[in-house]
Every structure is written in C-alpha cells, then in structure tokens.
Amino acid sequence: MRKTQSILPGFGPALGYTLTYISLVLLIPLAMVFLKTLTMSWETFWRTVTDPRVLASYRLSFLASFLGASINGIFGLLLAWVLVRYRFPGQRIIDALLDLPFAMPTAVAGIALTTLYSTNGWFGRYLENIGIKVAYTPLGVVVALTFIGLPFVVRTIQPVLQDLDKEYEEAAASLGASRWQTFSRVIFPALVPSWLTGFALAFARALGEYGSVVFISGNMPMRTEITPLLIRTKLEQFDYTGATAIALVMMIISFILLLIINLLQNWNRRRMASH
Amino acid sequence: MKRKIGLLFALILVLTLGLVSVSAADRPITLLNVSYDPTRELYQDYNAAFVKYWKAKTGQTVTIQQSHGGSGSQARAVIDGLEADVVTLALAYDIDAIVEKAKLIPAQWQKRLPDNSAPYTSTIVFLVRKGNPKNIKDWDDLVKPGITVITPNPKTSGGARWNYLAAWGYALKKNGNNQQKAQEFVTKLFKNVPVLDSGARGSTNTFVQRGIGDVLLAWENEAFLALNELGKDKFEIIVPSISILAEPPVTIVDKVVDKRGTRKLAEEYLKYLYSREGQEIVARNYYRPRLKSVAEKYETQFPKVKLFTIDEVFGGWQKAQTIHFNDGGIFDKIYQAK
C-alpha cells in the first residue's frame, strides 16, 4: 500500500494539535458533565429532567431562542445587506455598534432592556397602552435573546455578501430576471450557508444565555423560568448532580438541533454544486 | 514561517505561565474573607480597623482580601476549592453545605463562637413608597387584594428565604401554630408577587428603578442602604409587629487555615467582631449589634420588634430548607398547584 501524500504538508502535527486543543478546551469539560450525571440512578435522573417545572423551562428556552434567532435571521440579513450594499454617513459607526451585544456584560444588557420595556419605561409605557406587556413575560425573554444574538447573522453574512460580484446580478438582469427573481434565485442561495451558520450561532448562544434574561423574565415558576435558571436553583440547593442532569439534557437537544442545521448546510451545498 | 509560528506558540506559553506564576508569587500574610453581597460596606470598614488593631498588637502587617457574591454561590466556590480562611455568609445552611460536601469545617462549628456564631443580626422589614400610600403596617396588609409585593426567588436567593420564613413564622404565631393556615397565608402572599428576581439586589432594583410594587421585603441593613443611597424623600421603612431574627454566621475554615498557617489570625479576626469596636462598626453599617452597650447606643436606629429564630420555629436551617425550599417542597407546591 502506498501512503497517500496530501498536497498540504503537516497533516500529522496539525491533527495532533487540533485533538489536544479540542480535548483540553471542549471535550474534557463536557465529559465532566456526563461523569457527574452518571452518579445518579436512572429513576432520579428521569424524575429530575421531566419535572413539570423543568419541562416548562425547556419549552420557554427553546421556543424563545428559536424565535429570537429567527427574528435575527430576517433583520440580520436586512442589516447586512444595507451595510454592504449602500454607503451612507455614519455607516462605520453603525457597523462597529453591531458588535456591542458581544462585548457588553449581559447583566447590563438585561437591566437596560428591562428599564426600557417595564411598564414605566420608554417603550413599555406605550406598549402597555395597546395591551402588550413585554417585561416579566415570555415576550421579554424573546426580546433579550434577540438582542444578544443580533451580531451573529450580520457578521456571518457580511463577508459573503461583500464577495458576491455585482456581475452576477447584472448577468441575471440582462437575462431578463426580475429584481425578486435575482434576489431569490441568485443572491439568496449563495447566502444560505452563512445565513444558516449565523442562525445556528444565534440560537445556540440564546439557549445558554443567563445574565440578561433573568432580569427581564421575572422568573415566575412554570411561566417565565428559563432552563439555565433552573440549573442555578439546583446549584443553590447544592444539588450538583441535578444541575448537571438538566444541563446534559439541554446539551443533547442542542447538539441534535445544531447537527440538523449542519446537515442542512451540507445538503444545501451539494444541491448548489450539482446545479 | 515555521519559526514564526513556533515563536508565537512559545509566546502564548510564556504568557500563560506568567499569569499563573504571578498569582502564586510570594505573598505577605493575607487573609481571605469569603462573604455575601450586602456585607461589602461592613467588611470594608471592619478590615481597615482590624488591620490597625492587629498591627498594634503583634506588629504584623496583614492584608485582608474580600470576596462577595450570592451566599450560595460563595459557599460553592469554597466547596470547589476557593481557599477562604474565613467565611461570613448569609445563612448557616450554606456553611453546613461546606461541612457536608467538602468536610473543611467540623460539624459543630456553630457552637465555637458566642450567639450561634453570629456576631451581628438583622431582620426583615418592609420598604414602602414615601407617605405609605397603601397604608401598609404589618404582614396582614401584604396579602390584601391589589397589593403588589416584591421579593426575590427563594430558590435562588438566600435573602428571599428569610423573607419567606418571616412571613410563615408570622402566620404561625397568629394562627396558633396551624401549619395549614400558614401555608394559605404564604400562598396568598406570593399571589401578590408579580416578579421573582434571582437576587436581593435585583429585587431592590425592580422596586426602586422600575417603580413596580407597593412594598419590598428586605433585610433591614439593605433597606437602610437603599434609603441612604436613593433618598429619604422617596421611601420609608416600615417595621412589622413580628419578624425573623436573621443570624448571618461566621466561621474559620479549619482545613484552609491549618494548611496556610493562619489559624490564629483568622480566629482573632472573627473574635474582634464581638469586641466593642467591632460592634460599633457593625451598628454603623446597619446590622444589629449583639453587645448590649452598643445596642443601647444605637437604640433609636433599630426599632423594637418581636423576633423569632429559625431554630425556635422551624427547627434549624436544614429542616427549613428540606421542607420549604428543596425541589418538591412547599414553595414549589405554591406555584405548581394550579
């Protein structure tokens, strides 16, 4: 057998580094979660993770994260489009502002949003008049998760959009495509992989978010408790295994969802290549 | 190119090691006091006084480091290996957890210092808006329809557990120790709670900044601090007829002080809290002092109120925690019974 030589040298050391690094930073900490949970009996595990309060929190966490990521999916795309395709005064500043949700301590974000949306806040007071309550309701959770996820979609789409030659659009137009057709048939398909990545990142980030949400959600049992808060309440009782059990379930569901998004991307790439 | 990458790795390695070694650099005598949030101001004052006292007594210069956070999180940090020489937490339950999970402290720790190892006490009072527009005088007023009460979530906040138990104890005393009646009272009370913040400071924020709620259940010292910082023209303190005696306990962490050779210093640090000067500092920071002479001096600051202890009414923290706050306990039932 002949050893197949890669064109790029250094496969061995590179893989070695990668595996060591992933193990140290990612796999070993994750394995700790598994190991801690293993000390539980199956019945206690099942009772812990299917408690009505915990179930209610999964529903809220996953649904609110999904909604937040979807909102960012739509408006992030729009924002990226505007920032790449148009020139206007103050553009650089807006561009830089977009990263703030990354840098801001999440508690600060949570307090600021609550101030705006509570019934005596700038937005909340008018929303109250038309019968919409945001702070201390599930809607408030969505607002917070939308805020912290904003940069992901914009930042993943921006470079792709920048690299997309105007000539494609001109070609499409010269072949008689309408503006909508140009967008839906030419531009959007090229953006889908990065758009999905942005969505997945925003979704994953939202699932794990704690700091900003606990301020705006009101933490009412069965109604506005997110899963990370329940993990905290377990820890407050020094119930480490209970906490890791819930974390484990959350990790598994998140992993499956992220895997699906990855598969979708692959499927899309192959579909594009075959065109 | 290869060399450059190698250099980069070396640099990262050196920087990482540097960070590690700086924290391990030779240190003078230090003492780490791991405490909870609302004692920040108290221990700032106290540490300065103690450093002076120790210097005069032994000629040694000590540096006292403080760490503050939620009481439960702080206990977990110590369990997970934070080398605290002394812990000064919000409730005995959190120190019991250190005993049980990490075995750093002997089981009978609470007997080692006077007064259940709690050199200062506090109680739960009501903070209401100026002029007391809803005319809130006592616990009974909190369960009336149309009153909104702000308190943090007892599952995540040690302070909130005191609030809950204070209400429960009041209802017991009023209804001849009828547990059923007490549960009804507390259930009714929590029906009037629109928001459960995760910590005491969060609740203060909701009440003060958001303008939500008619009354905030708070530690007396926190209520005083809020009053001082936010203006006496906006809020006032109402002291109920009966409340709970909150005893935030202190102890040395035996395994740590023996390892670091700081036992003498740590013991003296806690004992000095009971001295006249320590008690003065305590009172100036709005905690109720134990020493009679100091208590008399600050009499006007702390209104008289009938106080009951956790041990009398609930048989200690362990029991109260299991019955009321652990998963499946009474607090959960209040919210899941719908």
- At B216, is the pLDDT very low, low, confident or very high (cuts 50, 70, 90)? very high
Chains A and B: how many Cβ contacts under 8 Å? 77
Minimal CA separation from A178 to chain B, in Å: 50
**Do B197 and A135 lie within an 8 Å CB cutoff?**
no
Q: What is the pLDDT of residue B266?
A: 96
Q: What is the pLDDT of residue B24?
A: 45
A74 part of a folded domain: yes
pLDDT at B288 over 90: yes
Residues A120-168 pLDDT 10s: 888 988 998 888 889 889 999 999 999 999 999 999 999 999 888 888 8
pLDDT at B244 over 90: yes
pLDDT at B330 over 90: yes
**Do B196 and A218 lie within an 8 Å CB cutoff?**
yes
Domain count, chain A: 1
Task: Give all domains of chain B, ordered by start, each with its CATH number.
Answer: 7-118+248-290 (3.40.190.10), 121-246+305-336 (3.40.190.10)
- At A3, is the pLDDT very low, low, confident or very high (cuts 50, 70, 90)? low
CB interface of A with B, residues 221-240, below 8 Å: 221-222, 229, 232-239
A66 versus A179: the higher-pLDDT residue is A66
Minimal CA separation from B297 to chain A, in Å: 38
pLDDT at B25 over 70: no
CATH number, residue A64: 1.10.3720.10
Minimal CA separation from B159 to chain A, in Å: 12
What is the distance between the alpha carbons of residues A53 and B212, in angstroms, rounded to a whole number?
26
What is the distance between the alpha carbons of residues A235 and B75, in angstroms, rounded to a whole number?
10
A4 part of a folded domain: no
Segment A45-50 mean pLDDT: 91
Residues A18-46 pLDDT 10s: 899 988 888 888 888 888 888 889 999 99
Segment A256-267 mean pLDDT: 88
**Do A219 and B210 lie within an 8 Å CB cutoff?**
no
Q: How far are the Cα atoms of A133, B93, B197, B214, B233 from residue B164, in angstroms, in the given order? A: 28, 15, 14, 17, 28
pLDDT at A58 over 50: yes
Inform me whether the C-beta atom of residue B326 falls under 8 Å from chain A C-beta atoms.
Answer: yes
Segment A212-225 mean pLDDT: 89
Helix axes B220-230, B200-208, angle to 10 degrees: 40
A175 part of a folded domain: yes
Inform me whether the C-beta atom of residue B196 falls under 8 Å from chain A C-beta atoms.
Answer: yes
Segment A194-198 mean pLDDT: 92
pLDDT at B9 over 80: no
A15 part of a folded domain: no
**Do B336 and A222 lie within an 8 Å CB cutoff?**
yes
First-to-last C-alpha distance (Å) of chain B: 68
Q: Which domain holds residue A147?
A: 45-274
pLDDT at B277 over 70: yes
Segment B182-203 mean pLDDT: 91
- At B3, is the pLDDT very low, low, confident or very high (cuts 50, 70, 90)? low
Inform me whether the C-beta atom of residue B5 falls under 8 Å from chain A C-beta atoms.
Answer: no
pTM of the model: 0.79
Q: What is the pLDDT of residue A156?
A: 93
Contacts of A8 in chain B (CB under 8 A): none
Q: Are the C-beta atoms of B167 and B314 separated by less than 8 Å?
A: no
Residues B62-117 pLDDT 10s: 999 999 888 888 999 999 899 999 999 999 999 999 999 999 999 999 999 999 99
A217 part of a folded domain: yes
**Do B156 and A232 lie within an 8 Å CB cutoff?**
yes
Residues B125-152 pLDDT 10s: 999 999 999 999 999 999 999 999 999 9
Strands B288-289 and B120-129: antiparallel
Contacts of B205 in chain A (CB under 8 A): 111
B114 versus A183: the higher-pLDDT residue is B114
Average pLDDT, chain A: 88
Nearest CA in chain A to B98: A238
Q: What is the pLDDT of residue B27?
A: 53
Nearest CA in chain A to B157: A236
First-to-last C-alpha distance (Å) of chain A: 37
A37 part of a folded domain: no
A2 part of a folded domain: no
- At B26, is the pLDDT very low, low, confident or very high (cuts 50, 70, 90)? very low
A236 part of a folded domain: yes
Please give, one letter per residue, the 3-state secondary structure of chain B. CHHHHHHHHHHHHHHHHHHHHHHCCCCCCEEEEEECHHHHHHHHHHHHHHHHHHHHHHCCCCEEEEECCCHHHHHHHHHCCCCCCEEECCCHHHHHHHHHHHCCCCCCHHHCCHHHHCCEEEEEEEEEECCCCCCCCCHHHHHCCCCCEECCCCCCCHHHHHHHHHHHHHHHHHCCCCHHHHHHHHHHHHHCCCCCCCCHHHHHHHHHCCCCCCEEEEEHHHHHHHHHHHCCCCEEEECCCEEEEECCCEEECHHHHHHHCCHHHHHHHHHHHHCHHHHHHHHHCCCEECCHHHHHHCCCCCCCCEEECHHHHHCCHHHHHHHHHCCCCHHHHHHHCC
Nearest CA in chain B to A53: B336
Segment B296-306 mean pLDDT: 91
Minimal CA separation from A258 to chain B, in Å: 30
3-state SS class at A63:
helix
Q: What is the pLDDT of residue B17?
A: 66
The interface predicted TM-score of the complex, written ipTM, equals 0.70
Q: What is the pLDDT of residue B238?
A: 94
